[in-house]
């Protein structure tokens, strides 16, 4: 059973620490615009919701990729993009019903949450535990 990000929007304070940690992990800079997790503010900031790839069991992005650049990690269960195989066609961005795979103009490739190889920095950086990493409650009951 693979772990996943567990999000409790009620605990999110919109501090953006998750976005900062993600961007730093993947780009080496603190730039929320480069984060693979986003905080959506609803009702002018009254409610904040962390949002990222849900690592779908039937990942449409993976099925749509014509080059086989999107695969599932056997180790973490994350749906990952292999940059060497990605041609930047953006078909996966259209296929994703959640809009969580994005084209990076700087690299000409797509990016998405890869769970940081099983050590998600967004969860580690979240001061309120709005984002945690573990076995989802529904999954743990079924096990």
pLDDT tens, residue by residue, 31-73:
999 999 999 999 877 899 999 999 999 999 999 999 999 999 9
Q: What pLDDT is recorded for position 143?
A: 43
pLDDT of res. 142: 45
CA 7 to chain centroid, in Å, comes to 12
Q: Is-same-fold flag (1-52+116-136; 55-112)?
A: yes
Domain 55-112 has CATH 3.30.70.20: yes
Question: In terms of Cα–Cα distance, which of 130, 98, 92 is closest to 111?
Answer: 92
Q: What is the rounded CA–CA span in Å between residue 140 and residue 135?
A: 6
What local confidence, expressed as pLDDT, does residue 138 receive?
Answer: 64
Q: What is the pTM of this model?
A: 0.89
pLDDT given for residue 139 in this prediction: 52
Tokens of residue 94, six digits: 């259209």
pLDDT for the residue numbered 136? 76
pLDDT of residue 12: 96
Beta carbons within 8 Å of 123's beta carbon, 6+ residues apart: 5, 18, 131, 132, 133
What pLDDT shows up at residue 134?
A: 95
| Coil vs helix vs strand at 128 | coil
Q: Which CATH number fits domain 1-52+116-136: 3.40.50.300, 3.30.70.20, 3.40.50.720, 3.30.930.10?
A: 3.30.70.20
> Where are the chain's structural domains?
1-52+116-136, 55-112
Tokens 């969580």 label which residue?
A: 100
Main-chain phi, psi angles of 47, to 5 degrees: -130, 135
């Amino acid at each position: 059973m693979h772990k996943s990000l567990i999000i409790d929007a009620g605990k999110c304070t919109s501090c953006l620490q998750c976005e900062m940690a993600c961007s730093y992990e993947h780009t080496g800079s603190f730039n929320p615009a480069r984060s693979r997790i986003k905080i959506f503010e609803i009702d002018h900031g009254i409610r904040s919701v962390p949002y990222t790839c849900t690592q779908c069991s039937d990942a449409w992005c993976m099925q749509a990729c014509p080059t086989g650049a999107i695969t599932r990690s056997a180790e973490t269960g994350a749906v990952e993009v292999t940059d060497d195989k990605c041609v930047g066609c953006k078909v996966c961005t259209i296929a994703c019903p959640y809009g969580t795979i994005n084209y990076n103009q700087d690299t000409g490739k797509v990016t998405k949450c890869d769970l940081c190889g099983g050590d998600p920095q967004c969860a580690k950086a979240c001061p309120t535990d709005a984002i945690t990493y573990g076995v989802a409650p529904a999954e743990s009951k079924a096990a």
